[in-house]
Amino acid sequence: MGAAATGGAAVSKTRTMLKVRKVRMICAVLLTALLLLLARQRPSQAQSPEQSDAFVFGINASVPGAVIGTFAPPSVDSIYFLADRTSILSPRQTRVYYWPITNEYRAAWSEVNEQVEGTLEILQGSEVVATVQQVTYTIHFSTGERAPRPQLYVGQEALQADARFQEAQTAYREAALAYQAARQAWLAQAREAAASLTADGVDPETLPPAPQQPEALNLFSTGLNSGYPVELPAGSYQIRTRLPDGSIIPESERRLIVFAPRRTAVGYEVVPENRWTFPEELNDLSSAVFGENDSVIYLKPYIVREYPSLPYERLQDPQYVGDTSGPEWMWVSGEPLEEEILEIVRDGRVEELVGLQPYFVRQVPGRELGYEILPYAPDTPDLTPRIDFVGYRIALSTERPAFEVRLRSPEQTLLSGSTRAVRVVEPISVYTLLPLSLLPLIIGAGLLFWRRRRTALEISE
C-alpha cells in the first residue's frame, strides 16, 4: 500500500512537471510570436506621415512688440491680422502633412519651399479694394532684457537693413579673428615670461595686458525673403492670388479678418525684491498691488491692449480650434514705457515722484536672500555690473498703508489706464492663527462633553 502510494505520487509529480513544461513552452511560443509581430509593425510605425503638395500662405504677423511667424495650410479658410500694422503674406508651394500628436498640419519646408509669383488681390464683397505686389522683406531681432524689439523691414529698407547686418557680421568675424591671433601671441609671451621667471627672476607683471574679447554680435536676421506687405484698417476682407497669366489660384482664396484693440491702457510688471526672478503681471485695470510691510517692489510699465480672445489666438496660430468657455477679451502686453515719471498719490495729493532706474543683481554669499539689488553704475569699481532690469523702486511701509500710483508723460499728460491701487499688508503671526485654528476643536470638544454629560444624566434618572 505504501509502495503503491509512493508510485502514484511519483506519477502525479511527473505529470505535474510535464504540464509545467508544456505551459512554459506555450508561453515561449506566444512571446516569440508577439516579438515577431512587433518587429514587423515597427518599420511601418516609424514611417513618415503621408505628405501632399499644397499651396500655402507663409505668415509673418505683426503684434505689439514682436513678429509671429506661422503659416496657413489649405485647411485654414480665415487669416487674422491686427489693424494698421504691416504684416507679410508669402505665397508658397510646399508639402503638408497631418501631425496627430498636436492635431495640426505641418509644412515640410526643408523638402519643398517654392515661391509663387503673382499679385495679391484684396476684396470687400465683390469689389477689389487693393492689389499688392511682392516685395523684399527681412526681420531683425536681438536677445536680452534691454534688446530692441523685433523689427520688420520692407522694400528698400529691407535691402539697407540686410547690408548693415552683413557689415556687422563681417566686422565681428574680423574682430574675433584678430582677438584669437592677439590671444595666441599673448599666451606665447606669457609662456616665455614664465620660463624666464624660473631662470632669471623676470617679473611677469611686465607682460602687456591680455587682449579683450570682442562683444558678441547680438543681432540676428531671417535673411531676405519675398512676400505681400498687408496693412489694412479693421474689417472683413477676402484675398486671392492672381498669376501672371491672369488666372486665380483657387487654394489662395481665403477670408482676411483685420481687428483692432477695444481699449489701450498701461500694465505693470511687479518685481518683489525678495523674489525678483518671479515677477507678476498686472494688466487688469481693477487689480491692485499688494506688498508686505518693510518690503520693496519694482514696477516695470508697458502698454497693454485689449483684444478679442479668439481672433488673437488665431492670429498666433491659424489652426487654433477655439475655446468658447474662456474669456471673450484678453489683455496683451506691448511696448515698454521708459520716459514717464511715476507719481505716488494719496488722498488726491501727489506725495512723491519716482524716476525710472536701471538695476543689476549681485550675488552675496551669506545674506538671507543670497543677493542684493543695486542701481546700475557702469563705473562701479571692482565690479562688472550689467542691467538686469529697469523699473520704478517703491518702498512699502504701514506708515503709508494705502495709496495709488500713476504715470505722467514728459509732456505732463496723465497716461490713461495707468492708475493702480497699492496696499501694504501686515504678515499674520503664527500665534494669531493658532487660537483661530484651535477654535473648532475647542467647540467640538465642548459639544462632545455636553452630550456625554446629558446622556449620563438621562441614564441616572
What's the pLDDT tens digit per position in 206-234? 667 888 889 889 999 999 999 999 999 99
Q: Which residue has the higher pLDDT, 103 or 26?
A: 103
pLDDT > 70 fraction of the chain, expressed in percent and rounded: 80
- The pLDDT score that the predictor gives to residue 139 is 95
At residue 77, does pLDDT exceed 70? yes
Q: Indicate the number of domains in the chain.
A: 4
pLDDT of residue 42 exceeding 70:
no
Domain shared by 384 and 444, yes or no = no
Place of cell 522694400: 155
Task: For residues 166 and 182, state if they share a domain.
Answer: yes
> In 3D, which of 293, 281, 289, 280 has the Cα closest to residue 344?
289
d(CA 409, CA 419): 13
Last residue of a domain, one of 199, 234, 260: 260
- CATH number at 284 reads 2.70.50
Name the pTM for this structure.
0.75
For the residues 59-83, what does the mean pLDDT come to? 94
Higher model confidence: residue 277 or residue 404? 404
Q: Are residues 411 and 437 in the same domain?
A: no
Give the per-residue pLDDT at 425: 86
118 and 131 belong to one structural domain:
yes
58, 163: one domain: yes
Q: What is residue 30's predicted lDDT score, i.e. its pLDDT?
A: 52
* Dihedral (Cα; 113, 320, 221, 215), 10-degree rounding: -140
Task: Mark 51-60 as b/e (b = at least 16 C-beta within 10 Å).
Answer: beebbbbbbb
248 in the same domain as 295: no
Residue 442: predicted pLDDT = 75
Lowest mean pLDDT among 45-49, 51-55, 413-417: 45-49
In sign, the C-alpha dihedral spanning 361, 362, 363, 366 is: negative
Q: Which of 262, 28, 253 is nearest to 121 (CA)?
A: 253
- CA 316, CA 62: separation in Å to the nearest integer? 10
Structural domain ending residue among the three candidates 260, 282, 298: 260
pLDDT for position 10:
39
The reply to whether 219 and 282 lie within a common domain is: no
Contact 225, 154 (CB under 8 A): no
Model pLDDT, residue 13: 42
Q: Between 23 and 54, name the one with better pLDDT.
A: 54
Q: Which of 42-51, 77-86, 101-110, 144-153 has the weakest average pLDDT?
A: 42-51
* Nearest CA-CA partner of 363 in 381, 386, 390: 386
C-alpha 343/C-alpha 404 separation (Å) is: 8
What residue has cell string 579673428? 177
pLDDT at 370: 76
pLDDT reading at 128 higher than 60: yes
Answer whether 161's CB lies under 8 Å from 138's CB: yes
25 with 68, same domain: the answer is: no
Exposed (0-12), middle (13-18) or buried (19+): which is 46, by Cβ within 10 Å?
Answer: exposed
Q: Higher pLDDT residue, 369 or 16?
A: 369
Largest CA distance in the chain: 119
Last residue of a domain, one of 260, 293, 312: 260
Is the C-alpha dihedral spanning 245, 247, 252, 257 positive or negative?
positive
Going by their DSSP bridges, the two strands 135-141 and 225-230 should be labelled as antiparallel
- Is residue 89 domain-shared with residue 23, that is, in the same domain? no
Confidence tier at 313 by pLDDT (50, 70, 90)? very high
Residue 191 has pLDDT above 90, yes or no: no
- Binned at pLDDT 50, 70 and 90, residue 379 comes out as confident
Does pLDDT of 433 surpass 70?
Answer: no
- For the segment 143-190, what is each residue's pLDDT rounded down to a tens digit? 876 678 899 999 999 999 999 999 999 999 999 999 999 999 888 888
Q: Do 230 and 367 sit in the same domain of this protein? A: no
Q: Is the pLDDT of residue 452 over 90?
A: no
Structural domain harbouring 347: 263-425
Q: Could you tell me where the beta strands, DSSP code E, fall in 316-375?
A: 329-336, 341-346, 349-354, 357-363, 371-375
- Contacts of residue 84, defined as CB under 8 A and 6 or more positions apart, other chains included, come to 231, 232, 233, 260
Do 169 and 286 fall into the same domain? no
Task: Give the model's pLDDT for residue 458.
Answer: 64
Beta bridge partners of 124: 127
pLDDT of residue 435 exceeding 90, the answer is no
**Residue 203 confidence class, pLDDT cut points 50, 70, 90:** low
Residue 304 has pLDDT above 70, yes or no: yes
Same domain, 359 and 344: yes
What DSSP state is assigned to residue 132? E
Average pLDDT, the chain: 84
Whole-angstrom distance, CA of residue 300 vs CA of residue 369: 22
Residue 31 pLDDT class (50, 70, 90 cuts): low
Dist. CA 242–CA 144, nearest whole Å: 42
Nine cell digits for residue 381: 569699481
